[in-house]
Structure 1
Amino acid sequence: MSARGVDLLVYADRLGGDLPRLRSLLDGPFRDFAGVHILPFFVPFDGADAGFDPIDHAAVDPRLGAWDDVRAIAGDSGNGREVTADLIVNHVSSASAEFVDWLAHGDASAHDGMFLAFDTVFPDGANEHDITAFYRPRPGLPFTAYRMADGRRRLVWTTFMPSQIDLDVRNERARDYLRRILAALRAGGVTTVRLDAVGYAVKTPGSDSFMTAETLVFVREIVAMAREAGLRVLVEVHAHYSQQLAIAPLVDLVYDFALAPLLLHSLGTGTSDRLVEWFRIRPQNAVTVLDTHDGIGIIDAGPSGDRPGLIDQDEMAAIFERAAVATGGHSTIASVVPAWMSLPHQINATFFSALGADANAYLLARAVQLWLPGQPQLYYVGLLGGLDDVELFRRTGQGRDVNRHVYTPEELEAALTSEVTRAQLALVRLRSTNPAFGGRFGFRSLAEAAVELEWRLGDERASLTVSFAPAPAFRIDIDGPAGSFSLDTVASLAALWERTHIPPSPTP
């Protein structure tokens, strides 16, 4: 994959409908994307947690396609596209064959020891302080009682949902399970695995059990397992920025989750100092995102315990308040406050909605994302200029569903004609094809509210200047032997896409 490449993050069923039709989009209007992260397409893709509760993690849900379709997306057609898939490290479904067998046969099960029971972590029992010390991203306690076939009741760890049974990742049977899944993914054409929820995978009494020293030991071990299978590793950790910096050297890629809240802070306050400080220290092997299927993480830029954040608690609260105003109060309803916390850890809203559908501010933020070093990734709802799907949230009661719209063919066609989408596609094309992005990166503060980001390679130059006050503004300057041009509006970016867009050949 080109070092300048941009990735798309998508659910196969919610954009296109299945894997073959997703491939058609990637070969057609989205062909400038060098890679795609396909969110869980396993059996079933539409479980209680939208595929993050697999019954069979090694099988493609036949309603979406087959492993041949994943391999075709990856490059059987010769396009060499990177494919990322999730390795769900922390848990399996309560309906998985392994867990069902354990409930039926207990100690005699071939999977005994694979699942994390309460007394595995607390063999001598636990008091109130021990239990409430654990960090959980949802309200309530992380345990669920299950009845064995012989009538015994076992209290198992369920960090996220009662139907998501935590693995005992220190147990060899659990590790054999993970090795089997890694092998299936690699054989299916996957090139990179995202370690989903790895920060919660190791429970250590006496700590909050989130991204501890013991977690980092396991990260090294699971990364070694993935690389042995021939896979690159992307780690997902919503945590204090120092933990991102600590884990970045251990993996191939780490998310830059701090960028989105810092951009919201800058756009809301008309200042750039916190953003510039992050530019100075952020990991270079980062996947840059504004929005994902999990909402907009705010905790990633904030304080944790006695560690100061890139922004403080009041500034975090102000971001939530501005989002509430922009969404008519809906983001407050949809966002969840974790156990023992005073604020949600993320805004459940589309990034466009959180900015009040201000296209100029939105393209400013997207341009910053695509100008930073690392591997940019655009979420399908964000690419299509999606606003909150309030109706889907009402039907499911899941706050994150406001940002998981299921596009009909008609909605997709309409979105592809919008200025917001075409302007973003123009940015993707610039990042993917302009030689300057293969050179050296630099940035500088121009004033309290303005920043310049620049790439240079020989005579090629790609510069982005953004200003957050008195109103959001951006200017792109492209210079090179082939000529120079500037862009400073959403319309001018969309027009660039129109000028450089070559329709794909008709499908036979």
Structure 2
Amino acid sequence: MKNQVQLITYVDRLGGGDVRTLQQLLRGPLQGLFGGVHLLPFYFPIDGSDAGFDPIDHTRVDPRLGAWSDIADLTGDVEVMADVIVNHMSSDSPQFKDFSAHGSASTYDGLFLTLDRVFPQGATEEALLKVYRPRPGLPLTYAVLANGEKRILWTTFTSKQVDIDVTHPLGQDYLSGILRSLSEAGIRMVRLDAVGYAIKKAGDSCFMMPETFAFIDRFAAEAKALGIEVLVEIHSYYRKQIEIAARVDWVYDFALPPLALHALMTGRSDALKQWIAVRPTNALTVLDTHDGIGIIDIGADAADRAGSPGLVPPAELDALVEWMHDNSAGQSRQATGAAASNLDLYQVNCTFYDALGRDDEAYLAARALQFFLPGVPQVYYVGLLAGHNDMALLARSGVGRDINRHHYTEAEIDAQLQRPVVQRLCELIRLRNSHPAFNGRFELLTGEAHELKLRWSDGEHWAELHLDLRAREHRIAHSEAELAAA
């Protein structure tokens, strides 16, 4: 993967078009900004119950966006990452419809997980309560199949997203077919969506168990044989993230967004410095994604009854959430928790810009921090344009995360790119992409409690970031160097 900033975007929400329209944006107004692009699900259909994360056909590009040939053309311009939704598929998929029509006689009977498949001896209350769940309730859906059979389906996320058995030959063939389709289109990196929940085991948490790591190892080896790197997406206790990073190509630094906000709220660098000292460097650094701002990633270990402490104490974590709600004038409160459907217990739904109260200097300081930490930075399309909360979309859909999933027209993009905060962000991106110091050695320098000083050096080249957290400002100094386009 290139050591340059990547863009994360939906194909149809940045410019309102298809793959070719996005390619034209990258060749035009956004030229030279990104070495890679993470295309959020572009499979058929893009407008299911979970914005493409519930594919009916994972090996088919939604025709409204284009075809595999268009994806292949895009890979000729930039590195492309795609999602592999390993845990589930849509209840509208041909495979599930066949299972519903024929039940246990279906060719696909072994593909879908039911309660009795996971608990063949029956499930006790204690065993069910032990299952880790990212949302309220049990991961189960009572269903009457088309043939009249009554089944209890395993559904980690929504009733429309039916979990598959990734250890069954049918599940293995299904996932292998997805990898082949992506490889043939020139995609060289995949993100494993919801992989932490992929393995189910009676009497265990069914989340990031040794068997889950073994599955990730097998899948990553298969991907590597096709020339594909693997990014594992996990929201979890920060020490678990360190453990995961030691076994995979790439992880997300999901602790960074709330820690950056916490530092700017308190004017203190202690929690950030603690994380910088131990964080994995094979990380994609983010401040925002298509999901919310994670809280679990810096809190105490929810799975540990002994209460292993987090990077931020509970009272300050609660204050951070309230600070974001206040900064967004209460808009994030309307989109978070029980206030919105499709909720996650561990995330605040809000654009990062609004979480900072639309403070340009604080926003750019957070982006500079992101770009100066070891790893490869990713910038979400709404964050690229310092976007505001989309309350109209939230009102229409009732889905909390839609507050940060605005549909930008080409005219809107042109207008937003003229804003000073966006232009300064683009300058930061170009510096991060091009200055040779970022290929060298990273140092965390000493400073006062309200300061953070980061330095990169490579031979005669160097770049230094000084953050004043109390003032919510940053300063960058660097050696002279010829800066090339991405």
When the two structures are superposed, what TM-score results if normalisation uses the length of structure 2?
Answer: 0.95
Report the Cα offset of residue 111 of structure 1.
Answer: 1.4
Compare 103-112 and 114-123 and name the one that shifted more.
Answer: 103-112
Report the Cα offset of residue 25 of structure 1.
Answer: 1.1
Q: Distance in 1 between matches of 2:145 and 2:358?
A: 51
Query: Which residue is equivalent to 2:405?
Result: 404
- Any stretches of 5+ residues in structure 2 without a counterpart? none
Verify the 8 A CA contact 2:103 2:149 in the aligned structure 1.
no
Q: Distance in 2 between matches of 1:45 and 1:481?
A: 43
Compare 106-115 and 81-90 and name the one that shifted more.
Answer: 106-115
SS of residue matched to 1:139: coil
Can you list the C-alpha shifts for 1:20-57, whole angstroms capped at 9, x where unaligned?
01001111222320000000000001111000000000
Can you list the C-alpha shifts for 1:447-505, whole angstroms capped at 9, x where unaligned?
00101111111211111000111x211100012367xxxxxxxxxxxxxxxxx999x9x
Can you list the C-alpha shifts for 1:400-444, whole angstroms capped at 9, x where unaligned?
000000001221111111112111111110011111111111112
Aligned mate of 1:101, from 77, 83, 98? 98
Q: Distance in 2 between matches of 1:481 and 1:139?
A: 53
Aligned mate of 1:210, from 188, 207, 211? 207
Query: Which residue is equivalent to 1:480?
Result: 480
Aligned mate of 2:197, from 196, 200, 203? 200
Q: Distance in 1 between matches of 2:202 and 2:421?
A: 49
Q: Does 1:179 find its partner at 2:170?
A: no
Change (3 A) 1:481 1:355: closer
SS of residue matched to 2:447: strand
Query: Which residue is equivalent to 2:140?
Result: 143
Query: Which residue is equivalent to 1:490?
Result: none
Q: Distance in 1 between matches of 2:377 and 2:208?
A: 24
Verify the 8 A CA contact 1:337 1:345 in the aligned structure 2.
no
SS of residue matched to 1:84: strand
Query: Which residue is equivalent to 1:220?
Result: 217
Can you list the C-alpha shifts for 1:336-378, whole angstroms capped at 9, x where unaligned?
269xxxx931110000010000010000000000011111000
Query: Which residue is equivalent to 2:19?
Result: 19
Verify the 8 A CA contact 1:118 1:156 in the aligned structure 2.
yes
Aligned-residue sequence identity (percent) comes to 49
Query: Which residue is equivalent to 2:36?
Result: 35
Query: Which residue is equivalent to 1:296?
Result: 293
Equivalences, count: 477
Q: Distance in 1 between matches of 2:134 and 2:332?
A: 17
Dislocated runs of 4+, deviation >3 Å: none
Please tell me the residue identity of whatever aligns with 2:217: R
Q: Distance in 1 between matches of 2:314 and 2:87?
A: 29
Query: Which residue is equivalent to 2:233?
Result: 236
Please tell me the residue identity of whatever aligns with 1:260: P
Can you list the C-alpha shifts for 1:221-260, whole angstroms capped at 9, x where unaligned?
2212222232110000000111111111222110000011
Please tell me the residue identity of whatever aligns with 2:202: P
Compare 140-149 and 65-74 and name the one that shifted more.
Answer: 140-149
Query: Which residue is equivalent to 2:446?
Result: 445
Q: Distance in 1 between matches of 2:481 and 2:238?
A: 40
Report the Cα offset of residue 329 of structure 1.
Answer: 1.6
RMSD: 1.9
Can you list the C-alpha shifts for 1:157-184, whole angstroms capped at 9, x where unaligned?
1111110000111211111100001101
Report the Cα offset of residue 386 of structure 1.
Answer: 0.3
Query: Which residue is equivalent to 1:328?
Result: 329
Q: Distance in 1 between matches of 2:432 and 2:26?
A: 17
Report the Cα offset of residue 395 of structure 1.
Answer: 0.6
Q: Does 1:7 find its partner at 2:16?
A: no
Query: Which residue is equivalent to 1:52?
Result: 53
SS of residue matched to 2:142: strand
SS of residue matched to 2:100: helix
Query: Which residue is equivalent to 2:458?
Result: 457
Q: Distance in 2 between matches of 1:149 and 1:405?
A: 37
Please tell me the residue identity of whatever aligns with 1:315: E
Report the Cα offset of residue 70 of structure 1.
Answer: 0.7
Query: Which residue is equivalent to 2:423?
Result: 422
Q: Does 1:84 find its partner at 2:81?
A: yes
Q: Distance in 2 between matches of 1:51 and 1:393?
A: 17
Query: Which residue is equivalent to 1:495?
Result: none
Q: Distance in 1 between matches of 2:481 and 2:84?
A: 45
Q: Distance in 2 between matches of 1:148 and 1:409?
A: 45
Q: Does 1:383 find its partner at 2:380?
A: no
Change (3 A) 1:271 1:337: farther
Query: Which residue is equivalent to 1:257?
Result: 254
- Any stretches of 5+ residues in structure 1 without a counterpart? 483-499
